[in-house]
Structure 1
Amino acid sequence: MKKIAVVTGARSEYGLLRWVIDEIHHATELQLQLIVTGGHLSPEQGLTYRCIEEDGYDIDAKVDMLLSSDCASGIAKSMGMCSIGMSDAFLHLQPDMIVVLGDRYELLPIVGTALVMRIPIAHISGGDITEGAIDNEVRNAVTMMSTLHFPGTQTSAARIGRMIGTMKNVFVVGETNLDNFLRLSLLSRNELAESLNIDLGKKWILMTYHPVTKESREKNLFDVNSLLHVLQSLGDDYEILVSKSNTDLYGSDINQLL
């Protein structure tokens, strides 16, 4: 039986991995190992590892990596802590392969550690493009270190093929988030209004902001402030829902503004 270790570091990316984890969990020829790190273990982020446990999955290893600072040097130090913790987790669990998704910065120490320890890597959602952020460089670096590639589209698969020089081990599987629409029971508008305590009679606006990590802290905060001023100017006819930042560069500064 092959041991497959799925590594998740954030609530957002766990939502995309949920049904991949479930399929591995129920596969008779595979043994699921679940490693959580990053924002999942942060009180400021809601200790979201508990959501994973509530979904019925056992967590095999918790790798604490977050420092209090989310400036560039603080994140770099957190990445170093992640690498140390992952080496211990991989040594203990002895996985036959790890599975990661996306382009968050913690993937660099996770995948780099697996590469050095000669653990094959399966990467989901490679080959995409994100302008204005370091995500592109992270994603492409993970692609170059990975063994199996599971992009969401043919276009992304072609980019991976150009990067690694072959289409071998590149499998287009579609976007994993679509499984949430197919498998989850979605709330009605009335149910959503009740759960969030918002006015059903007003128009709704959802605001979410991804830090532009290639821009300065000051530019990011200026952009968020400008957006908030525009939303506030709309008046009382709107209910404005704002999502908080993940453990990203400048994330805590942005959350203070919100």
Structure 2
Amino acid sequence: MKRVVYVTGSRAEYGIVKRLLKRLQQDPHIEFSLLVTAMHLEPKYGSTIDIIKQDGFDITASIPISLNTENNQTIIHSMAECLDKFGEHFQNNKYDAVIVLGDRYEMLSVSIAAAMHNIPLIHLHGGEQTLGNYDEFIRHCITKMSKLHLTATEEYRKRVIQLGEVPESVINIGSLGAENSLLLNLPSKEELVSKLDIPTTPYFMVVFHPETLTGHSVLAQVESLLGALEQFKQSYKFVFIGSNSDTHSDQIFKRFKNYTDENKFKFFTSVKPEEYLALIKYSQGLIGNSSSGLLEAPSCGVGTVNIGNRQQGRVRGESVIDVEPNTTSISQGIKKLTSIEFQQKLPHMINPYYQKYSMERAYQEIIRFLNSPMNSTVKYFYDLRSIE
């Protein structure tokens, strides 16, 4: 029996992989473990470990780390603590593979700990670019420690190979999140109104995170965003979702909380994955700089006003409207999104991240990897000659 562990630290990546985790948990030939850390354990981020428990998962271990987003040094302290604690866990618990998703700083620490203990890493969503955030180099670092790579587009697959990874170990499966939007049993709008007290009138979703590499003022960008929303609040309501635990995210939280209280708009620290997708689905569109605006929102059938550089470099479909982080540009983006011309074209726009059977392909590739020599052999650097 193979021992496989998934490490989750945030609501976003947990929501993406939940169906895959259930598939692995149900496999009688796998001893599946789930380690929970970081934002899941913090009340200020919604204590989303409770959602994981409600979903029926047995949590193998909760590994708390201190999260202080005041500056980069406090983030580095969190990374060091995470590295130490997961190093100790992997010293005392042996696994045949550790699965991680994406690019968050705590996942870099987890990956280093696993690699140093010679535990094979399986990485989802490698090869992507986010040039406005430190997730950019974190993601590529995790790639170099991983043995199996499950990418979300063909462009990302080629980039991982360009990083020196053996082509046979890099599989383009599409985005699990894009598939989730179509296959998960989402609550109806009436259920959301009853449970979350969201507006019955037209509303936009607002999800905004810090840019951590550009040097731009987080508060200046937030004020530009709110200045744009002021021009539309007579016609629309706005539903805000709290930011991730990135550097200076506390500034976003405080300003959004004050703004929503003043205007009687809804603000959620966090919601269940199905609720989040449903909130997007029934909205007029997503405004902000979340990756969900590029990956999941197109499958929900809504457009995105993508602000600034946080997602710069990522593949995006026609439903994504890129704007500069200033009030005028954001306002123009919202006007374009709500225009008759754009709305008529929206149903025919393609989500470049969607592939049929993404979750099942991910599962099958993980099983294949666990039973292949690639799991136990030493990695070598693949010198690029051609990409097929």
Q: Which range, TM-score by smaller chain? A: over 0.9
Gaps of 5+ in 1: none
- Are 2:263 and 1:252 aligned? no
Code of the residue aligned with 2:117 in structure 1: it is M
Deviations 1:170-195 (A, max 9, x none): 11222111342344222333333333
Residues 1:134 and 2:134 aligned together: yes
- The DSSP-based 3-state class of the residue aligned with 1:62 is strand
Percent of paired sites with the same residue? 31
Determine if contact 2:198/2:239 at 8 Å carries over to the other structure.
no
Question: 2:2 touches 2:29 (CA, 8 Å); kept in 1?
Answer: yes
Q: Distance in 1 between matches of 2:4 and 2:165?
A: 26
Runs of 4 or more above 6 Å deviation: none
Deviations 1:148-188 (A, max 9, x none): 11111111111111112530211122211134234422233
Equivalence for 2:234? 236
8 Å contact kept, 1:35–1:61: yes
- Relative contact order (alpha carbons < 8 A, sep ≥ 6): 1 or 2 greater? 2
Q: How many residues align?
A: 256
> Could you give the per-residue CA deviations for residues 51-74 of structure 1, whole angstroms, max 9, x where no partner exists?
111111111111111243441000
Contact 1:245/1:255 (<8 A) preserved: yes
The equivalent of 1:208 in structure 2 is: 207
Which residue in the other structure is 1:222 paired with? Answer: 220
Deviations 1:178-213 (A, max 9, x none): 34234422233333333332332x321111112111
1:31 aligns with 2:7: no
Deviation string for 1:204-256 (max 9, x for gaps)? 1111112111133x611100111112212323321111111111111111101
Q: 3-state SS of the aligned residue for 1:171?
A: strand
Q: Distance in 2 between the 1:210 and 1:69 partners?
A: 12
1:19–1:179 CA contact under 8 A, matched in 2: no
Equivalent pair of 2:37/2:63 in contact (CA under 8 Å): yes
Partner of 1:49: 49
Q: Answer whether contact 2:122 2:146 (CA < 8 A) is retained.
A: yes
- Contact 1:126/1:151 (8 A) holds in 2: yes
TM-score, scaled to structure 2: 0.63
Q: Secondary structure at the match of 1:255?
A: helix
Distance 1:129 1:92 in 2: 35
Question: Is 1:63–1:89's contact at 8 Å kept on the other side of the alignment?
Answer: no
Question: How far, CA to CA, are the matches of 2:184 and 2:118 in structure 1?
Answer: 37
Structure-2 change in CA distance of 1:31 and 1:179 (3 Å):
farther
Range 65-74 or range 45-54, more displaced? 65-74
CA distance in 2, matches of 1:108, 1:229: 36
Counterpart residue number, 1:86: 86
Query: Rg larger in 1 or in 2?
Result: 2
Q: Which amino acid aligns with 2:254?
A: Q
Q: Distance in 1 between matches of 2:84 and 2:248?
A: 24
CA RMSD, aligned part only?
A: 1.5
Q: Is the 8 A contact 1:205 1:239 kept in 2?
A: yes
TM-score (norm 1): 0.94
Q: Where does residue 105 of structure 2 map in the other structure?
A: 105
Distance of 1:165 and 1:101 partners within structure 2: 17
Q: How does 1:65-214 map to 2 (within 5 A)?
A: 65-200=65-200, 202-214=201-213
Contact 1:37 1:63 in 2 (8 A): yes
